Amino acid sequence: MKQVSETRCFGGRQLRFKHDSEVLNCTMQFSVFLPLRAEKAKVPAVYFLSGLTCTDENFSTKAGAQRVATELGIALIVPDTSPRGDDVADDLDGAYDLGLGASFYLNATQDPWKSHYQMYDYIVKELPELIEAELPINDKRAIAGHSMGGHGALVIGLRNSDRYTSISAFSPVTNPTQCPWGEKAFRTYLGDVREQWKQYDAVEIIKSKGQTLPVRVDQGLADVFLEEQLKPENLKEAIAAVKGGGTVHLHDGYDHSYYFISSFIEAQLRFHAKYLTA
Ligand SMILES: N[C@@H](CCC(=O)N[C@@H](CS)C(=O)NCC(=O)O)C(=O)O
């Protein structure tokens, strides 16, 4: 992998890298914040999956996570939200909720998507293997995300409880098989058999397998996508019916934006630190 930028931030380093991904079959960029502690020892990491239309830069520039990350000695890993490049399939209408910037963090099975859209395997395996081999980052991982990325964090964390210490999400798409964003993406990437969709639906995963990891969700009640796309009550019900627990915090007046994320990122990082540094 090749470093493309470095910027000092709160005593740590904000870095950007480029690499050829075998899993995604294209060149990818990702951002990493290394806290000051990483100069002396390997540190644990929070992986943050962003939402529709984002790249690795939205969270890095708008969430204001670095001050607390350096205090806690935690690295922040921010991948891109889809494969990229001239030969990577995109939605023909240029829709913001499909194709580039809208991978839904799954392994596509349909043409023309399947040759590049394998983000589930990229996030679970290829990216951490690369990062842990090349950077002062250990294998203690937490996973977080926003909206489509909140869905990705929940699904990836719930399905890989041996690989993560804890899961959090801002405004996640909790039940994608039951909302327009999810139905459109899953039909396109996975085909018409709805049974195949359930493996990428957090509510369905909890219902069928339960859940064991600590989970924290933050959701703004003035979010325009709340009722049609996000459905936090479905997640609350699923969590309440199983043993593992988890909390869904509802916040009056907050919307879907990075103003909301920046207001609660400190709480989410402190939540993860309890498990990452235990
Ligand atoms: N109304 C937006 C929907 C997409 C959206 O709200 N994206 C969220 C994630 S689902 C986001 O983080 N956008 C980028 C940003 O706010 O920096 C659009 O049409 O572009």
- pLDDT tier for residue 70 given thresholds of 50, 70 and 90: very high
51 lines ligand 1 (CB under 6 A): yes
Mean pLDDT of 115-140: 98
Catalytic residue among 60, 146, 223, 272: 223
148 lines ligand 1 (CB under 6 A): yes
What is residue 278's predicted lDDT score, i.e. its pLDDT?
A: 82
Catalytic residue among 21, 147, 166, 171: 147
What is residue 16's predicted lDDT score, i.e. its pLDDT?
A: 98
Residue 245 has pLDDT above 90, yes or no: no
Question: Residue 168 catalytic?
Answer: no
What is residue 34's predicted lDDT score, i.e. its pLDDT?
A: 98
- pLDDT tier for residue 264 given thresholds of 50, 70 and 90: very high
Q: List the CATH number of the domain containing 7.
A: 3.40.50.1820
Q: Give percent above pLDDT 90 in the chain.
A: 98
Residue 252 has pLDDT above 90, yes or no: yes
- pTM for this predicted structure: 0.98
214 lines ligand 1 (CB under 6 A): no
Residue 56 has pLDDT above 90, yes or no: yes
Give the number of domains in the chain.
1
**What is the position in ligand 1's atom list of the atom closest to the CA of 54?**
14
3-class SS letters over the chain:
CEEEEEEEECCEEEEEEEEEECCCCEEEEEEEEECHHHHCCCEEEEEEECCCCCCHHHHHHHCCCHHHHHHHCCEEEEECCCCCCCCCCCCCCCCCCCECCECCCCECCCCCCCCCCEHHHHHHHHHHHHHHHHCCEEEEEEEEEECHHHHHHHHHHHHCCCCCCCEEEECCCCCHHHCHHHHHHHHHHHCCCHHHHHHHCHHHHHHHHCCCCCEEEEEECCCCCHHHHHCHHHHHHHHHCCCCCCEEEEECCCCCCHHHHHHHHHHHHHHHHHHHCC
What is residue 52's predicted lDDT score, i.e. its pLDDT?
A: 98
Distance 52 CA to ligand 1 centre (A): 6
Residue 269 has pLDDT above 90, yes or no: yes
Mean pLDDT of 113-125: 98
What is residue 173's predicted lDDT score, i.e. its pLDDT?
A: 98
Q: Indicate the average pLDDT of the chain.
A: 98
Distance 145 CA to ligand 1 centre (A): 13
Name the residue range of residue 129's domain.
2-276
Q: Which residue has the higher pLDDT, 278 or 164?
A: 164
Residue 262 has pLDDT above 90, yes or no: yes
What is residue 206's predicted lDDT score, i.e. its pLDDT?
A: 98
Pocket probe for ligand 1: among 52, 81, 97, the residue whose CB has the most ligand atoms within 8 Å is 52
102 lines ligand 1 (CB under 6 A): no
Question: Residue 272 catalytic?
Answer: no
**What is the position in ligand 1's atom list of the atom closest to the CA of 147?**
10
Mean pLDDT of 168-177: 98
- pLDDT tier for residue 271 given thresholds of 50, 70 and 90: very high
58 lines ligand 1 (CB under 6 A): yes
Mean pLDDT of 252-267: 98
Residue 64 has pLDDT above 90, yes or no: yes
Distance 274 CA to ligand 1 centre (A): 30
